[in-house]
Structure 1
Amino acid sequence: MIVTLIVAAEVAFWAVLALGLATRYLLRRQRLSTVLLVGLPVVDLTLFVLTVLDLRGGATASWTHALAASYAGFSIGYGPSLVRWADRHFLYRFAGGPKPRRSPKYGPERTRYEWQICGRTVVSAAITLALITALVPLSDGSARFDTFTGWYLRLSIVAVVNVIVAACYSLWPKEAPAGAIVEDGLVVGWKVPQQQ
């Protein structure tokens, strides 16, 4: 049952996001669009509540219950940036807005970008682990407990790797190719060599 709920929540998340953006740019209903977009985390939190009810109803705890918790963690950690990304692309494609900028590739801008990604990952992992911790008392037996606690190691590894990647960009910032003209971390042109 939980797998079906996860699929339904995934479909609902993208449908609400598309509906919110269509309402904003095609129907020009700003307030209604904001209500729809603010409601996005509700989709994943509803999935988590249904997961709790499933376990309380006697379901055998499995990795799918922890996956349902991770959806809520992802939605809270990455949701706002995902909505901004979709908003920029929808505005460009359907409302004549400017072309979305790519992620920075070089210099301090790239380093800041990596730390932002790291922050989102750490927040997502922390929230997911807190929600999984709330599920542990609802599981039955040590085997089921191990089902949930395995996620502690996995998510900790993901968070630590992300911190290491961001730290590497801080220690060794990625330099642009020789002769590149860089603005906001992106190559915008090339210097013409001086003739002698």
Structure 2
Amino acid sequence: MLIAVIAGCEIGFWVVLAAGLVARYPLRLRRTGAALLMCVPLVDVVLLTVTVVDLRGGATAGFGHGLSAAYVGYSVAFGHSMIRWADERFAHRFAGGPPPGEKPKHGRARAAYEWREFVKAVVATALSCGILLLMIAIVGDADRTEQLSGWLTRLGVVLAIWSLWPITYTIWPAKPKKGSATSPADRTPRA
């Protein structure tokens, strides 16, 4: 059941985000759009509530419970940049805004970009692990939360693998192909 709730929350995230952006730009309802965009984090609250209620109701933690903690942690850490990504594209398409920025492809700018993304992953992992530990404490039964403990290791492995990208781009920065022009994104780091 939790896997279906997680899928529903992912769909809900994009539906609420799209509704907020449509209200904001094509419909020019700035306040309504802002209100809808502020509701995007409520999707995470719904998922977290369903997960905790299920565990408090006596369920033994399974894969879905751990996945929901990881989903919430990553959604919180990366949600703002995902919303900004979508907002830039809607602003360009419907409000005459500047073209959306691209991630840098080469050099120090790309390495800096990869390190910023890695820091978000560290925050996401810390939040996810905190939620997992909180769930374990709420249930208070090691037999029922064994799957949650396993997720702590999984998230650590994901973070260790993720660390390879910024390290690689720092040690061996990508260079532009011969004859290609360097884009402005490659010269200035993007936040």
For normalisation by structure 1, the TM-score amounts to 0.86
Mapping of residues 1-196 of structure 1, within 5 Å: 1-139=1-139, 141-186=141-186
- Matched to 1:89, the amino acid is R
Which has the higher mean CA deviation after the structures are superposed, 15-24 or 134-143?
134-143
Unaligned runs of 5+ residues in structure 2 are: none
**In 2, Cα distance between equivalents of 1:168 and 1:105:** 13
**In 1, Cα distance between equivalents of 2:60 and 2:140:** 7
Which has the higher mean CA deviation after the structures are superposed, 51-60 or 31-40?
31-40
Instruction: State the SS of the aligned residue for 2:182.
Output: strand
**In 1, Cα distance between equivalents of 2:62 and 2:111:** 38
CA contact (8 A) 1:69 1:131 kept: yes
CA contact (8 A) 1:77 1:124 kept: yes
Which has the higher mean CA deviation after the structures are superposed, 92-101 or 65-74?
92-101
Q: Alpha-carbon deviation of 1:55? A: 0.8
Percent identity for Structure 1 against Structure 2:
38
Indicate the structure (1 or 2) with the bigger Cα radius of gyration: 1
Q: Alpha-carbon deviation of 1:141? A: 4.8
CA contact (8 A) 2:6 2:68 kept: yes
For normalisation by structure 2, the TM-score amounts to 0.88
**In 2, Cα distance between equivalents of 1:171 and 1:10:** 36
**In 2, Cα distance between equivalents of 1:102 and 1:129:** 31
**In 1, Cα distance between equivalents of 2:24 and 2:82:** 16
Which has the higher mean CA deviation after the structures are superposed, 107-116 or 38-47?
38-47
- Matched to 1:31, the amino acid is R
Partner residue of 1:191?
none
Which has the higher mean CA deviation after the structures are superposed, 165-174 or 93-102?
93-102
CA contact (8 A) 2:102 2:185 kept: no
Q: Alpha-carbon deviation of 1:179? A: 3.3
CA contact (8 A) 2:44 2:72 kept: yes
Instruction: State the SS of the aligned residue for 1:173.
Output: coil
* Alignment root-mean-square deviation, CA: 2.0
- Quick check: which one's strand share is greater? 1
**In 2, Cα distance between equivalents of 1:174 and 1:144:** 47
CA contact (8 A) 2:125 2:155 kept: yes
Higher relative contact order (CA 8 A, sep 6+): 2
**In 2, Cα distance between equivalents of 1:105 and 1:145:** 43
**In 1, Cα distance between equivalents of 2:30 and 2:159:** 36
**In 2, Cα distance between equivalents of 1:144 and 1:28:** 50
